[in-house]
Amino acid sequence: MELTTVWFILIAVLWIGYFTLEGFDFGVGMLLPVLARDDTERRVMINTIGPVWDGNEVWLLVAGGATFAAFPEWYATLFSGFYLPLLLILVALIVRGVAFEYRAKRPEDQWRARWDLAIIVGSFVPAILWGVAFGNILRGVEIDADREFVGSFFDLLNPYALLGGLTTLLLFLVHGALFVALKTDGEIRHRARELALRVGLGAVVAAAAFLLWTQVDTGSPASAVAFVLAAAALVAALGAARAGREGWAFLGTFAAIGITVAGLFLALFPDVMPTSLTDGTSLTTTNAAATAYTLKIMTVVAVIFTPLVLAYQGWTYWVFRKRIAVHHIPQQPAPVAR
Domain ranges of the chain: 3-173+269-328
* pLDDT higher than threshold 70 for residue 188: yes
pLDDT in tens, 214-267: 999 998 999 999 999 999 999 999 999 999 899 999 999 999 999 999 999 999
Peptide bond preceding 307 in cis form (omega within 30 of 0): no
Question: In this structure, is the dihedral angle defined by the CA atoms of residues 309, 314, 320 and 324, taken in order, positive or negative?
Answer: positive
Q: For 322, how many CA atoms within 13 A lie in the half-sphere containing its CB?
A: 4
Phi, psi (degrees; rounded to nearest 5) at 281:
-125, 120
Residue ranges of alpha helices (H) inside 187-291 are 187-218, 221-242, 246-268
* pLDDT higher than threshold 50 for residue 37: yes
Cβ-Cβ contacts under 8 Å for 272 (sequence gap 6 or more) = 8, 71, 74, 283, 284, 285, 288
What pTM, to 2 d.p., does this model score? 0.92
Concatenating the DSSP letter of every residue in 153-177 gives GGGG--HHHHHHHHHHHHHHHHHHH
Q: What would the 3-class secondary structure string for 229-244 be?
A: HHHHHHHHHHHHHHCC
CA angle, residues 259, 88, 143, in degrees to nearest 5: 70
CA-CA distance, 190 to 182, in Å (whole number)? Answer: 10
Arithmetic mean of pLDDT, 36-57: 89
Cα distances from 126 to residues 96, 131, 288, 337, in angstroms, run: 10, 8, 26, 40
CA-CA distance, 167 to 144, in Å (whole number)? Answer: 29
Q: For 141, how many CA atoms within 13 A lie in the half-sphere containing its CB?
A: 28
* pLDDT higher than threshold 80 for residue 329: no
* pLDDT higher than threshold 60 for residue 334: no
* pLDDT higher than threshold 50 for residue 337: no
* pLDDT higher than threshold 70 for residue 302: yes
Tell me 82's DSSP state. T
Q: Which helix (H) or strand (E) holds 315?
A: helix 292-319
At residue 130, the pLDDT reads 95
Share of the chain above pLDDT 90, in %: 67
pLDDT in tens, 48-102: 998 888 888 889 999 999 999 999 999 999 888 898 999 999 999 999 999 998 9
Concatenating the DSSP letter of every residue in 111-144 gives HHHHHHHHHHHHHHHHHHHHHHHHHHHHH-B-B-
Q: For 337, how many CA atoms within 13 A lie in the half-sphere containing its CB?
A: 0
